Amino acid sequence: MERDGIDIHEAPPQSTFWQKLGPGGMASFLLTFLVGGLGFGVPWALCVRRVLQRRGGDPEAGADVILVLGRRLEGDHPTAVFRARLAEAVRLFHAGAAPRVIVAGGVTGRATLSEAEAGRAWLGRAGLPAGALLVEDRSQHTLENLFYVREEARRQGWGRLILVSDPLHLARAAALAQGLDMAVACRPAQDCPPPSGSPAWWARAAAEGFLLLWYRTGMAYSRLIRSRRQLARVT
């Protein structure tokens, strides 16, 4: 789930994106447009460059758990992008990268099943043992994916996590994890749509660049106004 604000307003799962933002998130959203405009698009372009730089992920290394970030379902089934993420988790698990996999994501859109449960079922069908599969099924977007998994990591005593997502999502996911003081190594899902270099791929890169700029702007804004409420949701 990849539509993140900064001040994550407490709202029911079926609320609209704008309802979930809350006043602080809306303020940072508008401020992001102002920053981008006053900078003649340069801040946005720099964030897009970061998205492209991070799409290859980090070198493979051992960890305590593999974290698969959720993605909105289609008819209670994983989309092609989500399946690519899950397939990368299968590869990493069989390579011995970590002894367990946690899939994050609650019920979103019109689905009746959580993204995490749909992902766990897919991994089970792919041959991963049930005892190695965990779920985080409360979150509604990437920031909450990480926020709630951090809670579980602290309870379980996990140190390092391998974060799996599609390549263009990694820069923002890594920034969010860093803001939450999580030790993660990012790995890109292979053969993940849209095709690299296609118009849809560039559109996704531009969108991810804007969302990364939004996150950075929101963090700076929250610190500037010293909003404990907003900072508590992202740090």
For the chain, domain boundaries:
17-53+197-234, 61-188
Average pLDDT over residues 57-68: 95
CA nearest to 164, candidates 106, 104, 212: 104
Which phi and psi angles does 200 have, rounded to 5°?
-65, -35
The dihedral through the CA atoms of 174, 176, 179, 181 has a sign that is negative
Give the Cα separation of 108 and 103 in Å (integer): 15
Give the Cα separation of 34 and 43 in Å (integer): 11
- Supply the pLDDT for residue 96: 97
Q: What single-letter amino acid sits at 183?
A: A
Average pLDDT over residues 30-52: 83
Average pLDDT over residues 213-233: 73
- Domain 61-188 class, CATH top level: alpha beta
Which stretch, 122-126, 141-145, 212-216, has highest mean pLDDT?
A: 122-126
Better-scored residue on pLDDT, 22 or 176:
176
Assign 7 a pLDDT band (cuts: 50, 70, 90): very low
Q: Is residue 35 a contact partner of residue 43, using CB atoms and an 8 Å limit?
A: yes
Average pLDDT over residues 83-97: 98
- Supply the pLDDT for residue 36: 72
Q: What single-letter amino acid sits at 74?
A: E
pLDDT tens by residue, 190-222? 999 999 999 999 999 999 999 999 888 888 777
Q: Is residue 165 a contact partner of residue 54, using CB atoms and an 8 Å limit?
A: no
- Supply the pLDDT for residue 4: 43
